[in-house]
Amino acid sequence: MRLLRFSFYIAIAAIPMTLPAPVSLPSHLIRLHASDGAQIAVSLHGGHLCSWRSADGIERLFLSRRSAWQDGVAIRGGMPVIFPQFANQGPMTKHGFARDLPWTLLASEVDATGAGVMRLGLTDSAQTSALAGQFSLELVLRFSGSQLISTLQVTNTGTTGFSFTAALHTYLQTPVASTRIGGLHGHRYRDSIDQARSKIEMQAALQITQEIDRIYTQVTAPVTLTSDTGRLDIGQTGFEDVVVWNPWIDKAASLSDMQPSEYQEFVCIEAALIEQPCTLAPGQTWQGQQTLLASTTPFTPVQETTP
């Protein structure tokens, strides 16, 4: 009996800091399952992906337990769509208006390969036309197995050109203490918490040990996120920049829609177009894509033995 209890304690001690229990999702979210069991849940508020579970059932995105779920307030976590202005880099409200407006569901289906495909749209309105031109936004979420491909398309549907910046502000669920981010070594970045100074990334595997808010520019190679719960390969096309953000202790405590300890559960790795805004002539379309491919580090729990 004593041996059994001892081996049970070994099993507990050997478990790495595992992923926290998933947040229960509000019932109004639109859900879609791929034929292999992978699934997503989306809110029309912001055209906002709130949950992505790979086919193994693991939740891959962070969603705050204190997210407001209110009109006019962005959902905290998941994948906010940032358009047409990144952060406070312009005259508009922070991160633009797309994440705060009601989007339309254009399609939700399982395609011939068994992948789930959801398409969401947002077009200009009287409310937005004073801020940006006439546009059509489309977000396509395609997922199966352990992969999610998110594609954002912006079309100028008006008669004059306009410029925008944009991002897929993906909150990746990860135990921050063991997280390392690879693929940014040697890249120039703008350090948003140090007067936007331009710096070069010197770390081959970036660790998060304090507030981080950086815009890495001209990133073409994949970024990798590893932790003791697995690995995520992050690719992008169209988007030229990568933002890495974690609020750490003080900033998390100052956010009303985040539990103070939640900064330990995620890193945002955002596919972004910031440094070189895109200008679209009438009729032109821009497209950006972020691809996430997850894998789980095999972990074999210590078996209980019978005496």
Ligand X SMILES: O=P(O)(O)OC[C@H]1O[C@H](O)[C@H](O)[C@@H](O)[C@@H]1O
Residue ranges binding ligand X (CB under 6 A): 74, 87, 94-95, 192, 213, 243, 245, 268, 270
* Residue 225 three-state SS: strand
Residue 80 C-beta: closest distance to ligand X, Å: 7
Alpha-carbon 226 to chain mean position: 15
- Whichever of 80 and 116 has its CB closer to ligand X, that residue is 80
| Of 46 and 116, CB closest to ligand X | 46
Q: Which is nearer to ligand X, 89 or 224 (CB)?
A: 89
Kindly state the smallest distance separating residue 229's Cβ from ligand X, in Å: 22
CA distance 72 to 186: 39
Phi and psi angles of residue 178, each rounded to the nearest 5 degrees, phi first = -105, 10
Are 32 and 39 within 8 A, CB to CB?
yes
- The residue (of 38 and 181) whose beta carbon lies closer to ligand X is 181
How near is the Cβ of 117 to ligand X at its closest, in Å?
27
- Which residues touch 194 (CB under 8 Å, ≥6 apart)? none
In the bound state with ligand X, the residue whose beta carbon lies nearer, of 143 and 263, is: 263
Smallest separation, CB 92 to ligand X (Å):
12
What's the rounded Cα separation, in Å, for the pair 205 and 285? 36
Dihedral, CA of residue 90, residue 215, residue 267 and residue 79, to nearest 10: 40
Q: Which residues contact 24 (CB under 8 A, 6 or more apart)?
A: none
Least distance from C-beta 244 to ligand X, angstroms? 8
